[in-house]
């Protein structure tokens, strides 16, 4: 995701706005089948999800846990989905509640009881009634009703779009030592962590809407006033879709990938599509081929700058024109860092966000026509970071400059953004200076190839970069990630 702060923009034309996972290549992957009907009168949806879950762990499992992210939008939720500063931008018509109401759960065809955990029922536990041994599969069917809030957010409806992000029950990642990881939804960052899976979505919606979805449209049919569109998306860690009765669209191509741009107020849609094509070309050349057949870039009602999903990125309609291309380039870089190579975005957000910011700077460094060069972006990041330190030291006397901590441990949004994005890009630029341009790009290419469709931890990241560079980088990353690198602030 990409967030922007006004005080940062005083110092630089632009810099970050805001914004995922585990299985190795030889593991079998789970599949999801989602059937959903959207009711635009009540802003609700009736849905049914079938998950064929494969136990890829070494342990026998007696239950499966799911995230129910829409319940973070409910009245009972502990904390808001946005900060106080963003409340009006998120809820322009006043506070509005949403959620997911689970009605039935069955395991291998037999109805079962289920339990909720955490505040506002954001975790669903499904007891299996038997032990699921390693490599065995269980079929879990969940019926539910979604209520969308009137909110300019990942999940919600606004004036122009209906956003279905993080809308369905998704299995929590299972780690051998920790069990199911059930970290909550928080307003900072992208609090997500999931595994690669295969998806089928069948979405029904009123005829006057157009759908942008993260997958290949394999079938569309009309039934009275409703259209039903079926999408397939394989080897992705999430799916999302956006509906609008105002969408126009353009289509372009990057190698074998169709790029669709959906928009309603963009004054230069061809320019935005061209940026998306150039970004996909550049990252494919730099890091490794984009492995999917389509990508949707979608203008949306969204409180932050943008948001990444596999094969679909949201770009906020509230962005000022000068930032639009930057956010498109940033969110598309996430297709590599988070999309294909995943990580626990709740506990190790630096892994995808810092690398995405660095990749974005490389993109603009190679595309002079945008009037931004690489050094300008790095200089801007340095100025912004020093300004952040100065202001925060005045307010708090001490500033926590560590990057390696969970989203919940960042006390404010500026603390999160400046440490993860801004400090992160400076860290990668410093590494680039140490290793040289050729070597860092070669490592990133190997990193993408080696960890594709997996989740990477900080430990794995540091070990891989050390091995490939032929240099022990443990101290380097430790000093940056744990806040030991000091900036001189005048």
Q: Tally Cβ neighbours within 10 Å of residue 447.
A: 22
The interaxial angle of helices 350-365 and 374-396, nearest 10 deg, is 140
Residues 51-110 interacting with Zn ion (rule: CB under 5 A): none
Which of positions 349-388 make contact with Zn ion (CB under 5 A)?
353, 356
Q: Cβ 419 to Zn ion, closest distance in Å?
A: 14
Query: Residue 415 CB, nearest distance to Zn ion (Å)?
Result: 16
Cβ 334 to Zn ion shortest distance, Å:
5
Burial class (CB in 10 A: 0-12, 13-18, 19+), 33: middle
Task: At 421, list the tokens.
Answer: 């994005």
Site string for Zn ion, 315-354 (x = CB under 5 A): --------------------------------------x-
Instruction: Give the torsion sign (CA, 371, 376, 378, 382).
Output: negative
Out of 14, 19, 54, 68, the residue judged to bind Zn ion by CB under 5 A: 19
| Beta carbon of residue 41, minimum distance to Zn ion (angstroms, whole number) | 35
Least gap, CB of 3 to Zn ion (angstroms): 8
Mention every residue, 6+ apart, whose C-beta is less than 8 A from residue 468: 442, 443, 446, 447
Pick the closer one to Zn ion by CB: 71 or 356: 356
Kindly tell me which of 118 and 353 has the beta carbon lying closer to Zn ion: 353
| Residue 12 sits in the site that holds Zn ion (CB under 5 A) | no
| Per-position b or e across 410-438, b if 16+ CB within 10 A of its CB | beebbbbbbbbbbbbbbbbbebbeebeee
**CA angle 186–188–194, rounded 5-degree value:** 65
Q: How far is the CB of 422 from Zn ion (least distance, A)?
A: 12
Nearer to Zn ion, 19 or 51 (CB): 19
H/E segment holding residue 260: strand 257-263
Min separation Cβ 199 and Zn ion, Å:
22
Nearer to Zn ion, 353 or 429 (CB): 353
Task: Write each residue from 186 to 215 as x if it is in contact with Zn ion (CB under 5 A), else as -, in one continuous string.
Answer: ------------------------------
How many whole angstroms separate alpha carbon 311 and alpha carbon 216? 10
Shortest Cβ 231–Zn ion spacing (Å) = 24
Tokens standing for 266? Answer: 């963009």
Number of residues that bind Zn ion (CB under 5 A): 5
Query: What DSSP assignment string belongs to 42-65?
Result: TTEEEEEEEEEEE--SSS-EEEEE
Nearer to Zn ion, 1 or 425 (CB): 1
Report in angstroms the alpha-carbon separations of 386 from 8, 318, 416, 449: 10, 27, 15, 35
Closer residue to Zn ion (CB): 316 or 356: 356
CB of 463 closer than 8 Å to CB of 351: no
Least gap, CB of 4 to Zn ion (angstroms): 12
* Number of residue whose CB is nearest Zn ion: 19
Query: Shortest Cβ distance from residue 287 to Zn ion (Å)?
Result: 16
What is the rounded distance in angstroms from the CA atom of residue 69 to the CA atom of residue 165? 9
Does the protein bind Zn ion through residue 1 (CB under 5 A)? yes
Least distance to Zn ion from the beta carbon of 324, Å? 15
Which CA distances in Å does 305 have to 81, 345, 468?
A: 15, 18, 34
CB of 189 to Zn ion, least distance (A): 9
Applying CB under 5 A, which part among 12-20, 32-40, 127-135, 447-455 lies near Zn ion? Answer: 12-20
Q: Which is nearer to Zn ion, 2 or 67 (CB)?
A: 2
174: Cβ contacts below 8 Å, ≥ 6 apart? 55, 56, 57, 61, 180, 181
- Of 180 and 421, which CB lies nearer to Zn ion in the complex structure? 421
CB 166 within 8 A of CB 192: yes
Which CB sits closer to Zn ion, 171 or 349? 349
Residue 254 or 356 with smaller CB distance to Zn ion: 356
> Toward Zn ion, which CB reaches closer, 309 or 477?
309
Q: What is the DSSP letter of 183?
A: P
Coil vs helix vs strand at 29: coil
Query: In angstroms, rounded to a whole number, what is the distance separating the alpha carbons of residues 392 and 396?
Result: 6
- Cβ proximity to Zn ion: between 202 and 343 the closer is 343
Name the site residues for Zn ion (rule: CB under 5 A): 1-2, 19, 353, 356
């Amino acid at each position: 995701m990409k967030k922007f702060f006004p005080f940062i923009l005083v110092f630089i034309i632009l810099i970050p706005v805001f914004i995922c996972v585990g299985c190795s290549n030889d593991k079998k992957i789970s599949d999801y089948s989602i059937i959903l009907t959207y009711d635009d009168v009540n802003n609700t949806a009736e849905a049914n999800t079938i998950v064929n879950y494969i136990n890829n762990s070494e342990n026998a499992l007696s239950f499966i846990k799911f995230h129910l992210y829409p319940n973070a939008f409910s009245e009972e939720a502990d904390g808001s989905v946005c900060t106080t500063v963003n409340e009006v931008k998120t809820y322009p018509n006043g506070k509005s509640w949403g959620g997911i109401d689970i009605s039935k759960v069955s395991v291998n065809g037999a109805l079962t009881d289920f339990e909720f955990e955490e505040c506002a029922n954001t975790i669903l536990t499904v007891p299996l009634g038997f032990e699921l041994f390693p490599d065995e599969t269980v079929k879990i069917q969940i019926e539910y009703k979604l209520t969308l809030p009137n909110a300019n957010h990942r999940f919600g409806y606004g004036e122009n779009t209906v956003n279905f992000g993080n809308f369905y029950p998704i299995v929590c990642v299972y780690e051998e030592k920790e069990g199911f990881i059930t970290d909550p939804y928080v307003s900072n960052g992208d609090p997500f962590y999931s595994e690669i899976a295969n998806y089928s979505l069948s979405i029904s919606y009123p005829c006057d809407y157009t759908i942008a979805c993260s997958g290949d449209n394999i079938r569309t049919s009309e039934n009275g006033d409703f259209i039903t569109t079926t999408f397939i998306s394989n080897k992705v860690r999430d799916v999302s879709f956006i509906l609008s009765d105002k969408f126009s669209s353009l289509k372009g191509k990057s190698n074998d990938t169709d790029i669709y741009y959906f928009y309603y107020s963009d004054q230069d849609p061809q320019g935005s599509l061209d940026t998306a094509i150039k970004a996909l070309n550049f990252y494919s050349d730099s890091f490794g081929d984009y492995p999917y057949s389509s990508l949707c870039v979608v203008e949306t009602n969204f409180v932050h700058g943008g948001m990444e999903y596999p094969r679909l990125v949201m770009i906020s309609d509230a962005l000022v024109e000068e930032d639009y291309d930057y956010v498109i380039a940033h969110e598309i870089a996430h297709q590599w860092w988070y999309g294909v190579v995943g990580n626990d975005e709740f506990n190790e957000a630096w892994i995808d966000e810092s690398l995405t910011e660095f990749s974005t700077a490389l993109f603009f460094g190679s595309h002079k026509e945008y009037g931004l060069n690489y050094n300008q972006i790095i200089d801007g990041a340095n100025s912004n970071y020093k300004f952040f330190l100065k202001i925060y030291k005045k307010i708090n006397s001490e500033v926590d400059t560590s990057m390696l901590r969970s989203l919940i441990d960042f006390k404010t949004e500026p603390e999160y953004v400046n440490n993860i994005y801004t400090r992160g890009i400076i860290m990668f630029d410093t590494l680039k200076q140490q290793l040289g341009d050729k070597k860092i790009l070669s490592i990133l290419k190997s990193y993408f190839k080696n960890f594709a469709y997996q989740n990477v931890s900080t430990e794995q990241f540091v070990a891989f970069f050390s091995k490939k560079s032929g240099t022990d980088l443990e101290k380097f990353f430790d000093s940056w990630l744990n806040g030991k690198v000091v900036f001189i602030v005048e």
